[in-house]
Chain A
Amino acid sequence: MSQNINKASSSRFWYDPKVRSILFQLLFIGLLVFFISNIITNTTNNLEQRGITTGFDFLSQEAGFGIIQSLVEYDETHTFGKTFIVGLLNTALVAVLGVALSTVVGFLVGIGRLSSNWLVARLSTVYIEIFRNIPVLLQILFWYIAVLQVLPSPRQSITLGESIFLNLRGLYIPAPVFGEGSGIVLGAFVAACMAAFVLSHWAKQRQVKTGEVFPVFRVGLGLIVALPIVVWVVAGQPISLEMPVLKGFNFRGGITVMPELIALLLGLAFYTAAYIAENVRAGIEAISKGQREAAGALGLSEGRIMSLVIIPQAMRVVIPPLATNYMNLIKNSSLATAIGYPELVNVFMGTTLNQTGQAIEIIAMTMAVYLTMNLMVSLFMNWFNTRMALVER
Chain B
Amino acid sequence: MKKAIQLAGAALALTAASSLAQASTQTSTLENVKERGYIQCGVSTGLPGFSTPDEKGNWTGIDVDVCRAMAAATLGNADKVKFIPLTAKERFTALQSGEIDVLSRNTTWTQTRDTSLGLNFVGVNYYDGQGFMVKKNLGVSSALELDGATVCIQAGTTTELNMADYFREHSMTYQPLVFDTSAQSVQGFESGRCDMLTSDQSQLYALRTKLAKPDEAIVLPEVISKEPLGPVVRQGDDQWLNIAKWSLYALVNGEELGLTSDNIDAKMTTDNPAISRFIGKTGPGGKALNLPDDFAYQIVKQVGNYDEIFERNVGAKSPLLIKRGINALWKDGGIVYAPPFR
| Chain B: interface residue total (CB-CB under 8 A) | 59
The answer, yes or no, to whether A360 is at the interface (CB within 8 Å) is yes
A353 CB contact (under 8 Å) in B89, B96, B191: B89
The answer, yes or no, to whether B218 is at the interface (CB within 8 Å) is no
Please judge, given known A-B contacts A64-B161, A169-B193, A350-B155, whether A49 and B236 are in contact too, CB under 8 Å. Answer: yes
Tell me the smallest distance from the CB of B135 to a CB of chain A, in Å: 10
B4 and A334 form a contact (CB under 8 A)? yes
A168 partner residues in chain B, CB cutoff 8 A: 191-193
Please judge, given known A-B contacts A50-B96, A350-B155, A360-B15, whether A340 and B89 are in contact too, CB under 8 Å. Answer: no
A65 and B164 form a contact (CB under 8 A)? yes
- A to B contact number (C-beta, < 8 Å): 154
* Proximity string of chain A (268-298) to chain B, C-beta cutoff 8 Å, 1 when within and 0 when not: 0000000000000000000000000000000
B1 and A337 form a contact (CB under 8 A)? yes
List CB contacts (< 8 Å) of B73-130 with chain A.
Answer: 88-89, 92-93, 96, 112-113, 115-118
B25 and A49 form a contact (CB under 8 A)? yes
A351 to B236, CA, bound (A): 27
* Proximity string of chain A (331-362) to chain B, C-beta cutoff 8 Å, 1 when within and 0 when not: 00011011010100111011101111101100
The answer, yes or no, to whether A39 is at the interface (CB within 8 Å) is yes
The answer, yes or no, to whether A138 is at the interface (CB within 8 Å) is no
* Proximity string of chain A (24-68) to chain B, C-beta cutoff 8 Å, 1 when within and 0 when not: 000000000000001100110111011111000000000011111
A350 and B116 form a contact (CB under 8 A)? no
Tell me the smallest distance from the CB of B250 to a CB of chain A, in Å: 27
Indicate the member of B157, B160, B180, B184 with the most A CB atoms within 10 Å. Answer: B160
A349 to B177, CA, bound (A): 16
The answer, yes or no, to whether A76 is at the interface (CB within 8 Å) is yes
Tell me the smallest distance from the CB of A382 to a CB of chain B, in Å: 28
Tell me the smallest distance from the CB of A36 to a CB of chain B, in Å: 11
A137 partner residues in chain B, CB cutoff 8 A: 1
A9 to B15, CA, bound (A): 45
Indicate the member of A260, A359, A367 with the most B CB atoms within 10 Å. Answer: A359
Please judge, given known A-B contacts A50-B236, A354-B88, whether A76 and B164 are in contact too, CB under 8 Å. Answer: yes
B180 partner residues in chain A, CB cutoff 8 A: 337-338, 340, 350
* Proximity string of chain A (351-379) to chain B, C-beta cutoff 8 Å, 1 when within and 0 when not: 10111110110010001000000000000
The answer, yes or no, to whether A112 is at the interface (CB within 8 Å) is no
B193 nearest CB neighbor, chain A only: A168
List CB contacts (< 8 Å) of B139-165 with chain A.
Answer: 146-150, 155-157, 160-161, 163-165
A2 to B308, CA, bound (A): 96
A68 and B191 form a contact (CB under 8 A)? no
B118 CB contact (under 8 Å) in A51, A250, A346, A360: A51
Please judge, given known A-B contacts A248-B148, A340-B188, A354-B156, whether A349 and B164 are in contact too, CB under 8 Å. Answer: no
Stretch of B168-176, B202-210, B273-281, B297-305 on the interface side: B168-176
B326 partner residues in chain A, CB cutoff 8 A: none
B179 and A355 form a contact (CB under 8 A)? no
B21 nearest CB neighbor, chain A only: A46
The answer, yes or no, to whether A125 is at the interface (CB within 8 Å) is no
A359 and B11 form a contact (CB under 8 A)? yes
A342 and B25 form a contact (CB under 8 A)? no
A38 and B19 form a contact (CB under 8 A)? yes
Tell me the smallest distance from the CB of A170 to a CB of chain B, in Å: 9
A248 to B139, CA, bound (A): 11
Q: Mostly helix, strand, loop or mixed at chain B's interface? A: helix
A67 partner residues in chain B, CB cutoff 8 A: 176
B7 and A363 form a contact (CB under 8 A)? yes
Please judge, given known A-B contacts A346-B178, A359-B7, whether A250 and B236 are in contact too, CB under 8 Å. Answer: no
The answer, yes or no, to whether B257 is at the interface (CB within 8 Å) is no
Tell me the smallest distance from the CB of B156 to a CB of chain A, in Å: 3
A337 CB contact (under 8 Å) in B4, B149, B177, B188: B4
A249 and B188 form a contact (CB under 8 A)? no
A347 to B117, CA, bound (A): 20
B178 and A351 form a contact (CB under 8 A)? yes
Please judge, given known A-B contacts A50-B234, A250-B150, A353-B89, whether A335 and B1 are in contact too, CB under 8 Å. Answer: yes
The answer, yes or no, to whether B3 is at the interface (CB within 8 Å) is yes
B168 and A76 form a contact (CB under 8 A)? yes
A325 to B174, CA, bound (A): 37
A43 and B15 form a contact (CB under 8 A)? yes
A360 nearest CB neighbor, chain B only: B11
The answer, yes or no, to whether B225 is at the interface (CB within 8 Å) is no
B22 nearest CB neighbor, chain A only: A46
Please judge, given known A-B contacts A338-B1, A363-B8, whether A354 and B236 are in contact too, CB under 8 Å. Answer: no
* Proximity string of chain A (249-263) to chain B, C-beta cutoff 8 Å, 1 when within and 0 when not: 110100000011000
- Would you give 13 A-B contacts (Cβ < 8 Å), ordered by A? A38-B19, A39-B15, A42-B21, A50-B118, A65-B164, A66-B163, A66-B176, A247-B148, A340-B178, A350-B180, A351-B160, A354-B88, A354-B92
* Ranked 9 nearest A-B pairs via Cβ: A354-B156, A52-B118, A50-B118, A46-B18, A53-B116, A76-B164, A65-B160, A357-B117, A359-B11
Given contacts A169-B193, A356-B116, 8 further A-B contacts (CB under 8 A): A51-B115, A249-B149, A249-B195, A338-B1, A356-B112, A357-B113, A359-B10, A363-B8
**Residues in chain A within 8 A of chain B (CB atoms):** 38-39, 42-43, 45-47, 49-53, 64-68, 76, 137, 145, 149-150, 153, 168-169, 247-250, 252, 259-260, 334-335, 337-338, 340, 342, 345-347, 349-351, 353-357, 359-360, 363, 367
**Residues in chain B within 8 A of chain A (CB atoms):** 1, 3-4, 7-8, 10-11, 14-16, 18-19, 21-22, 25, 88-89, 92-93, 96, 112-113, 115-118, 138, 146-150, 155-157, 160-161, 163-165, 167-168, 174-180, 184, 187-188, 191-193, 195, 234-236
